[in-house]
Structure 1
Amino acid sequence: MRQIPLALLAPPTHRFDNFLPGANAEALAYLRGLSPGDPPVLLWGPTGSGKTHLLQALAEHWQAGGQRVAWYDADTPLPWELPAHESLLLLDDCQRFDAGQQHAAFALFVASAGQGYNIVATADVPAVDLDLREDLRTRLGWGPSFALEPLGEAEMRAVLRREADRRGLLLGDEVLGYLLTRFERNLKGLMTLLDRLDRFALASKRALTLPLLKAMLADEKIDSDPNL
Structure 2
Amino acid sequence: MGLGPLPLLRLVGALHCRRKYREAAENLFCGICEAPRLAAQARRYGRRPVPDDSSQDDLGANWRAAQQRLSSSVPDSTWRLWLEPLEAVGAEGETLFLSAPEGIRAWTERRYSALIAEALREAGTPFQQVSFASPPGSPSAGEPGLELNPNYTFERFVIGPGNRLAHGAALAVAEAPSEAYNPLFLHGPPGLGKTHLLAAIANYLRDNAPALSVRYTTAESFTNEFVAALKTSGAEAFKTRYRDIDVLLIDDVQFLQGKPATEEEFFHTFNALYESGSQLVLSADRIPSELSTLASRLRDRFEWGLTVAVEPPNLATRLTVLRRLVEESGVDIADSGALSELANRIDANVRQLHGALTRVIAHASLMAKPLSSELIAEVIPSVRRSQPTSVEEIQQRVAEGFGISRAELVGSSRAATPLRARQVAIFLTRDLTDLSLPQIGRLYGGRDHTTVLNSLRRVEARLDEDTDLAEKVRELRGAIHNPVGEER
TM range (shorter): 0.7 to 0.9
What is the CA distance between 1:176 and its match in structure 2? 1.8
**Corresponding residue of 2:480:** none
Q: Is the 8 A contact 1:9 1:167 kept in 2?
A: no
What is the CA distance between 1:90 and its match in structure 2? 0.9
Paired with 1:107 and 1:169, the residues of 2 have a C-alpha distance of 50
5 Å matches for 1:1-228? 7-10=82-85, 11=101, 13-23=151-161, 24-34=163-173, 35-38=176-179, 39-64=182-207, 65-66=209-210, 67-76=212-221, 77-79=224-226, 81=239, 82-83=241-242, 85-100=244-259, 101-131=262-292, 132-171=294-333, 172-217=335-380, 223-227=381-385
Q: Is the 8 A contact 1:37 1:114 kept in 2?
A: no
Matched letter for residue 73 of structure 1: T
- Greater RCO, CA 8 A, separation 6+: 1
Q: Which runs of 5+ in 2 are unaligned?
A: 1-77, 86-100, 102-149, 227-237, 386-433, 435-488
Matched letter for residue 90 of structure 1: L
What is the CA distance between 1:212 and its match in structure 2? 3.1
What is the CA distance between 1:41 and its match in structure 2? 0.8
SS in 1 for 2:281: strand
Q: Is the 8 A contact 2:315 2:347 kept in 1?
A: no
TM-score, scaled to structure 2: 0.41
Closer, same or farther: CA 83–173 of 1 in aligned 2, 3 Å: same
Paired with 1:200 and 1:104, the residues of 2 have a C-alpha distance of 47
Paired with 1:170 and 1:75, the residues of 2 have a C-alpha distance of 40
39-48 or 174-183: bigger deviation? 174-183
SS in 1 for 2:186: strand
Closer, same or farther: CA 170–133 of 1 in aligned 2, 3 Å: farther
TM-score, scaled to structure 1: 0.83
Paired with 1:97 and 1:203, the residues of 2 have a C-alpha distance of 42
SS in 2 for 1:116: coil
Q: Which runs of 5+ in 1 are unaligned?
A: 218-222
Percent sequence identity is: 29
Q: Which has the higher helix share?
A: 2
Q: Is the 8 A contact 1:94 1:122 kept in 2?
A: yes
**Corresponding residue of 1:220:** none
| RMSD of aligned alpha carbons | 2.6
